[in-house]
Amino acid sequence: MSENQFDYVKPKFLNEALDIISKSVNPFILAGGTDLIDMIKEGIVQPDMVVDLKGIEQFNQITFKNDILTIGAGVTFSQLIVSKVIKDNFPIIAELSRTVASVGIRNRATMIGNICSAVPCMDSGPLLTSYEAMIILAGPKGERKVSAENWFINSRKTAIEKGEIVTGISIPYPGKHAGCFVKLGRYEGEDLAQVNLVILALSDGNFRVSFGSVAPVPVRAKKIENLINGKTISHTLIEDAFNIIEEEIKPITDIRASKEYRMHMAKIMFERGLNAALSRLNGAGPEYGISVI
């Protein structure tokens, strides 16, 4: 149905893909295509070449070696939901993946595509900043890695450079830990987050907290982490954290929610997410996948 014509290739090897990209004027990478196809249809982007990564076999793998989880560029959210490695070691990734769009979309859409589109309401952003993940890129100059913290530059803008392809994400295992992903939507069906939040409770008493959809890029809330790290969570501490949330995030009003509601909900989500993560760390709390809001 598109009015734009473009060439389409589905290479089997990374080098082949890099080569095609280097020779094209305005190439676009297709992983799941769930964002790209819409953008082409609506004329937002006009590629002359679409390079489909789904043919590159190594990209379809999830591996966990030497305490590093690697998610390939072709791995779909549905794969993340059913992966045993993830269920056993990073259950919050499955919890998050279950809230992304709908079953049909999750069967195509990839986490790497999600962070390359880098819209502010993406679900994967806060996850990767919390886990201090590295984004792995291949390009004309070879491989390089960018931290999640430095990956997101602005709304829809990442640290990717011309000619590069994201081949995967590596997530270091932070030792025994628990987490909670909280997402605010307008109903129980699939929705784009109005606020989302990842909280990790580590076994050394420290926390990682990242918000999404409340600023152009994910917000790793280090001031909050510093406030609560090593402390017993009390009502006063939560109240203090609320004050810091007001400083750390800058939600906007748009058609999906007002900034007042987003700010209010960020606090509620933080409090409930923190409690859930802590309980889970102690082997209790709500099962992964059950929303705390």
Partner 1 sequence: MEESKYVGKSTVRIDGKAKISGAAKFIEDIDFGADLLYAEVVESKFAHAIINSIDTSEAEKFPGVVKVVTGKEFPYRFGLYMHDRYIFAQDRVRFVGEQIAAVIARTPAAARKAAKLVKVDYTELPNVLNVEDALKKDTFLLHPELGNYQHVPWFFPKPDTNISHLRKVRKGDAEKAFKEADFVFEDTYTVPRYAHCAIEVHGTIGLFDNSERLTVWTASQSPYTQRHLFAEALSPLGLTHKDVRVITPFVGGGFGGKAGVSMEIIGAALATTVKGRPVKVLWSRAQEFYNTYQRQGLTCRIKVGVNKDGKIIAMDNTLYWDAGAYVEYGANVVNAAGLSASGPYNIPNVKIDSYCVYTNLPPGGPYRGFGYSEFLFGLESHMNEIAKNINIDPVQFRRINAIREGDILNYGGKMNPNGLIEAIDKVAEAIDWGKKEYSDDPNKAIGKGIALFWKAPAMPPNASSSAFLKFNEDASLNIMISGMEIGQGLLTVMAQIAAEVLSVPPEKIRVETPDTDRNPYEWQTVASHVTWGCGRAVERAAIDAREQIFDLIERALGKERSSLYLQDECVKSKKDIEFSLPLKDFIINGIMKEDGTYRGGPIIGRGMFMPEFSSALSDPETSQGGKPNVHYTVGASAIKIEIDRQTGKMTIPKAVLAIDVGRALNPNLIKGQITGGLLQGIATVLYEDMRYSDKGKLLNASFSDYKIPTAMDIPAEVVSIIIETPQPDGPSGARGMGEHTMIPAAPMIANAVEDALGIRIKSMPVTAEKIALSMINENIKADIINS
Residues that bind partner 1 (CB under 8 A): 1-3, 186-192, 255-258, 260-261, 264-265, 268, 293
Cβ 262 to partner 1, closest distance in Å?
A: 9
Alpha carbon distances (Å) from 114 to 24, 106, 110: 23, 11, 6
Cβ 82 to partner 1, closest distance in Å?
A: 20
Cβ 162 to partner 1, closest distance in Å?
A: 29
Q: 235-248 and 259-281 helices cross at what angle (nearest 10)? A: 130
Cβ 89 to partner 1, closest distance in Å?
A: 28
Decide whether 45 or 159 has the Cβ nearer to partner 1: 45
Decide whether 192 or 202 has the Cβ nearer to partner 1: 192
Cβ 105 to partner 1, closest distance in Å?
A: 12
Q: What is the DSSP string of 131-163?
A: TT-EEEEEETTEEEEEEHHHHEEETTEES--TT
Decide whether 149 or 191 has the Cβ nearer to partner 1: 191
Cβ 129 to partner 1, closest distance in Å?
A: 24
Region of residue 142 (phi > 0: left; psi between -120 and 50: alpha; otherwise: beta): left
Q: Are strands 207-212 and 219-220 parallel, antiparallel or unpaired?
A: antiparallel
Decide whether 43 or 140 has the Cβ nearer to partner 1: 43
Decide whether 272 or 280 has the Cβ nearer to partner 1: 272
HEC profile of 234-284: CHHHHHHHHHHHHHHCCCCCCCCCCHHHHHHHHHHHHHHHHHHHHHHHCCC
Residue 287 is encoded by which pair of tokens? 């099962």
Decide whether 83 or 114 has the Cβ nearer to partner 1: 114
Decide whether 30 or 292 has the Cβ nearer to partner 1: 292
Cβ 3 to partner 1, closest distance in Å?
A: 5
Residue 21 is encoded by which pair of tokens? 């990209």
Question: Long-range contacts of range 187-192, CB-CB < 8 Å, 24 or more positions apart?
Answer: 189/102, 190/99, 190/100, 190/101, 190/102, 190/105, 192/121, 192/256
Q: Which amino acid is at 1?
A: M
